[in-house]
Structure 1
Amino acid sequence: MSDETITNESDTFEIGDTTVHRLGFGAMRITGEDIIGAPDDEDTAREVVRHAVDCGVDLIDTADSYGPAVSERLIGEAIGDPDDVLVATKAGLLRNDDGDWIAHGDPDYIRNQVLTSLDRLQADTIDLYQFHRPDDDTPFEDSVATFAELKDEGFVDEVGVSNVSAEQLDQAREQVEVATVQNRYNLNDRGSREVLEICEDEDIGFIPWAPIDGDDLDEHGDLLDEIADEHDATRRQVALAWLLERADVMLPIPGTSDPDHLESNVAATQLSLSDDEVQRLTEAAD
């Protein structure tokens, strides 16, 4: 970790009534190996969360299934429920010790989970509560309706959805004001292009998960290396800078458990790509 604090210089975006910097922090990696159990060093995990806030990161994303429960607990212990940080969490996936992610969108389960998340995050309300993944065994409308009810009842401030198609996003928006969508999207994986376009048209925050996946970066390694060399940067920083340029609604949440890695991610907000570089990167996988 450097002596001088790196500052988040990304633009801002409105999530409901809250203004956040567009580069956030994904807190999945502060758990144990394979996102199961506690990390070997919980003090360092809490320090990473605090240091993200010190660097000007005011959007932190987690889920009840990360650990499970571990990531939320560590965030609550590290920063509590500050007014100047939006903590987003998710419900709708079960996690087992085999490493499986099991969709579970039952309304009663979601209602139970919001209470456990509030307790672990040490919060009075969930700033942004996201449905983690549609469940084939539960009607999508029933799951989303539960999130809408939790908002009406004051348990959550804003509602988001994750891993949805364009059709499912439209269905969700018929039941509740959707503040954010969290789908996989990065330099090489543009599978959610149609969903992103809806978010741009409707001013809905788009949170790309796996924003700088290593395998996807390798697909365009030569181009990334060329541009990175021009800016004395890394591949990951170029990929993050491109995401921030890709759309005004884009809210990347790169995750890490290492303070130095965190600073490197935040430093990507200080990288200014040329229009030509942005175009070349955009066309690389289109």
Structure 2
Amino acid sequence: MTSSSAFSSSPSPSSSFSSSSFSSSLSPADRLGFGAMQLPGRWAGPVVERATAVAVARRAVELGVRHIDTAAFYFSATERANDILRDALHPYPEGVTIATKVGPLRTATGEMYAEARPEQIRGLVEENLRQLGVDVLDLVYLRVGRLKAVGGVPIGERFAALAALREEGLVRRLGVSNVSAGQLAEAREIAPVAAVQNRFSVLDQADRALVDECAAAGIAYMPFFALGGGHTALQDEKLRKVAERHGATAHQIALAWGLARSPAIIQIPGTSSLAHLEENMAAARVVLDEDDMALLER
């Protein structure tokens, strides 16, 4: 993603995306991104110091992150993820994709109370443009269902409203998040879909068929809760066994599993800790063999 003064109509060759799809030739290191949700502090927890959050965002890029996931609705009592990213990285480095999401509506106190109507999509996109300080957004997902997936609910009108903003030049690429295969198909009838962001991890593989569908269609798949959510990954015996075999942590194995599972997967683990960031990024160096994968998928 670039600032308005250095905007290029085509993405950098090192970007996670080509003009319409992900590159299946990306290395594991190139498919290890960063999620900004925790930069402002947990939604119902302590606020992160701005200087620490800025340092984490900058270090992520120094370590090779080329895909950053954020949203205007990622905020704590005093900080917003988009503001932190702008402070840390603007003008954004060439070749770094910054993806955001629209759809859920949050109160000032953090409650997700509704989903945006089609006529509200423009305002949410413009909010992200202002906060990030850019004239065009690299990738914008329509997030469906707030915190719970709601397959079977039509998304066409909302996605069409987002697609119209792509036609205007405010958005480069479109994505959908928290969707079923049917909802993805509905969106693809309206406009090209570059990425899907759904819940998927070694501990929750219910979306495996959609992961494979995305890989076949040239659509990037960005799992959320790739570490299982919370500290679940640390409690799994299979992950611990493989981690011991590789001299790695359970979190690193969980991330490495996703990278090995499909070339479509771009992992976007989030953290507000420099130490955890370094740990997560080191997962790209973990190479799982067939025995590891068989055990983890058992």
Query: Does structure 2 retain, via aligned residues, the 8 Å contact 1:179–1:205?
Result: yes
Query: Does structure 2 retain, via aligned residues, the 8 Å contact 1:28–1:35?
Result: no
Offset of 1:103 from its aligned partner?
3.9
For 2:33, the equivalent position in structure 1 comes to: 24
Alpha-carbon spacing, 1:244–1:273, altered in 2? closer, same or farther (3 Å): same
Matched residue SS, 2:223: strand
The TM-score normalised by the length of structure 2 is 0.84
For 1:5, the equivalent position in structure 2 comes to: none
For 1:57, the equivalent position in structure 2 comes to: 65
Give me the CA root mean square deviation. Answer: 2.3
**Percent of paired sites with the same residue:** 36
Aligned partner (choices 156, 168, 180) of residue 171 of structure 2: 156
Aligned partner (choices 106, 115, 125) of residue 114 of structure 1: 125
The TM-score normalised by the length of structure 1 is 0.87
173-182 vs 127-136, which deviates more?
Answer: 127-136
Find the aligned partners of 1:71 and 1:12 in 2 and give their Cα distance: 21
Offset of 1:139 from its aligned partner?
5.0
Alignment of 1:30-49 (within 5 A): 30-34=39-43, 39-49=47-57
1:189 aligns with 2:204: yes
Alpha-carbon spacing, 1:35–1:52, altered in 2? closer, same or farther (3 Å): farther
Find the aligned partners of 1:253 and 1:201 in 2 and give their Cα distance: 21
Deviations 1:215-254 (A, max 9, x none): 54256x2221221112111000011111100000001100
Aligned partner (choices 179, 190, 193) of residue 175 of structure 1: 190
* Larger strand fraction of residues: 1
Alpha-carbon spacing, 1:258–1:215, altered in 2? closer, same or farther (3 Å): closer
One-letter amino acid matched to 1:192: D
Find the aligned partners of 1:50 and 1:259 in 2 and give their Cα distance: 10
Offset of 1:15 from its aligned partner?
4.9
Give unpaired runs (5+ residues) of structure 2.
1-13
Find the aligned partners of 1:56 and 1:270 in 2 and give their Cα distance: 13
Find the aligned partners of 2:231 and 2:59 in 1 and give their Cα distance: 27
1:74 aligns with 2:77: no
Query: Does structure 1 retain, via aligned residues, the 8 Å contact 2:48–2:272?
Result: no
Find the aligned partners of 2:138 and 2:57 in 1 and give their Cα distance: 17
* Larger helix fraction of residues: 1
Offset of 1:35 from its aligned partner?
5.8
Find the aligned partners of 1:134 and 1:222 in 2 and give their Cα distance: 32
Query: Does structure 2 retain, via aligned residues, the 8 Å contact 1:184–1:192?
Result: yes
Find the aligned partners of 1:120 and 1:127 in 2 and give their Cα distance: 14
One-letter amino acid matched to 2:66: D
Query: Does structure 2 retain, via aligned residues, the 8 Å contact 1:225–1:235?
Result: yes
Alpha-carbon spacing, 1:260–1:97, altered in 2? closer, same or farther (3 Å): same
Offset of 1:13 from its aligned partner?
4.6
Aligned partner (choices 203, 208, 211) of residue 226 of structure 2: 211
Matched residue SS, 1:161: strand
Find the aligned partners of 1:181 and 1:113 in 2 and give their Cα distance: 19
Find the aligned partners of 1:197 and 1:12 in 2 and give their Cα distance: 22
